[in-house]
Amino acid sequence: MDTSMDTSPGSALDHETIIDVHAVRRRYGSRTGARPEFEAVRGVDLHVRRGELFALLGTNGAGKTSLLEVVEGLARPSDGTVHVFGQDPYRRRSLVRPRIGIMLQEAGFPSDLTTEETARMWAGTLQESRPVAEALDLVDLRGRSSVAVKSLSGGERRRLDLALALLGRPEVLFLDEPTTGLDPESRRSVWELVSSLLDEGTTVVLTTHYLEEAERLADRLAIMHGGRIVREGTVAEIVGSEPAHVYLDAAAVRPDDLPSLPDVVAPTRVDAGRLVIPTRALQPTLATLLAWATEHDVALTGLEARPASLEQAFLTIAADHLTDHPTDGTADHPAAGHTRQEAAA
């Protein structure tokens, strides 16, 4: 077996970089076929470091799953290069697959098998596997081991899929919307499990619609829109690009009555009966406003101060790019989406 490192341009030679994606594009359809060509991923660069959790966020149709399938080796990029452990995950799949775990959005379980039988079947496809009972314990399914998959709830099926992704003790774990359909308690249990995996040195690539999930778990994240990465960095860096806001009842004071406030980044506006003051320095702005109100005996009713948040950054990005490639349309293409059986191939 050839285990040599791929040294082609863009390969991950730095031992700290475990995933290296360079100028990747993914297209569906054909210029000459019945279906018009559609570009779901449009020139993406990203790098994931060993032992970190990298979160990929985006609106529906942003291209997250289309990109993730290329990085996982389930699909070939139309252009660009991908390296995982320094290898092309599509051409060198036999070298990459034993070292990764994949939790897809749709698992495609055989419905008549029990939970334990499903896990044992999947364990049989792996070179090395942790004990099935241990994997089911990790996701709190040991008590459901004799239940047929068709009788599991949607949330239990998601937890079973996570157990299968963990069976091979992966060095890199891909989680595509892992907590969709889970109740809040189960979601937090998954967060604790993922945190423990990170502590053990596992690298995790996560896609999620739950911003709280990314904010809590991610070391770094990227936000996709229209097939492109439009913002990347730590949570603090991305949140820091957005202003904080001070709100108060518009009936309490007119915008023209306000004093000069430090670090206000846009004109004060009235929105739904509230005065909105965007600022880059929440505490000095708030202190100046309170001092002015005290001096002039003004009651600032409805006063509220909100620091910037990941949700605010996400919504700003979505609004800024609303007319740019609004949907990736991959559901319309038969090539989009893979089953767990295909992931095992």
Q: What is the mean pLDDT of residues 109-128?
A: 92
Mean pLDDT of the chain, nearest integer: 87
Burial grade of 52 (CB within 10 A; 0-12, 13-18, 19 or more)? middle
- Per-residue pLDDT at 327: 45
Q: In which band, very low, low, confident or very high, does the pLDDT at 326 lie, cut at 50, 70 and 90?
A: very low
Predicted confidence at residue 4, as pLDDT, reads 42
pLDDT for res 343? 64
**Residue 261's pLDDT is what?**
93
- Give me the percent of the chain exceeding a pLDDT of 70: 86
Mean local confidence (pLDDT), 315-329? 62
| Helix-helix angle 115-123:154-166, to 10 degrees | 30
Q: Three-state SS for 162?
A: helix
Residue 33: what pLDDT?
Answer: 61
Structure confidence at residue 9 (pLDDT): 40
Q: Is 187 a residue whose pLDDT tops 90?
A: yes
Supply the pLDDT for residue 7.
40
pLDDT confidence of 325, banded at 50, 70, 90?
Answer: very low
141-183 pLDDT, tens digit each: 999 999 999 999 989 999 999 999 999 999 999 999 999 889 9
Q: What are the tens digits of pLDDT across the range 13-70?
A: 455 899 999 999 999 986 666 667 899 999 999 999 999 999 999 988 899 999 999 9
The reported pLDDT for the residue numbered 134 is 97
Q: What is the distance between the terminal CA atoms of the chain, rounded to a whole angstrom?
A: 18
Segment 299-308 mean pLDDT: 94
For the cut 90, the answer to whether the pLDDT of residue 138 exceeds it is yes
Helices (H), 72-218: 93-96, 115-123, 132-138, 154-166, 184-199, 211-217
- Helix, strand, coil abundance in the chain, percent, nearest 5: 35, 25, 40
Instruction: Answer yes or no: is pLDDT of 84 > 50.
Output: yes
Residue-wise DSSP of 56-95: EEE-TTSSHHHHHHHHTTSS--SEEEEEETTB-TTTTHHH
Identify the helix (H) or strand (E) that includes residue 244. strand 244-249
Collect all residues with Cβ–Cβ distance below 8 Å to 228 and sequence separation of at least 6.
Answer: 42, 43, 44, 63, 325
Q: What is the DSSP string of 295-313?
A: HTT---TT-EEE---HHHH
What pLDDT, on a 0 to 100 scale, did the predictor assign at position 318? Answer: 78
Q: pLDDT: is 330 or 247 the higher one?
A: 247
pLDDT band at 317; cut points 50, 70, 90: confident
CATH tag, 17-114+169-238+323-337 = 3.40.50.300
pLDDT at position 108, please? 78
Q: Determine contact, residues 122/344, Cβ cutoff 8 Å.
A: yes
9 burial class (0-12, 13-18, 19+ CB within 10 angstroms)? exposed
Mean predicted confidence (pLDDT) in 68-77 = 96
pLDDT of residue 37: 84
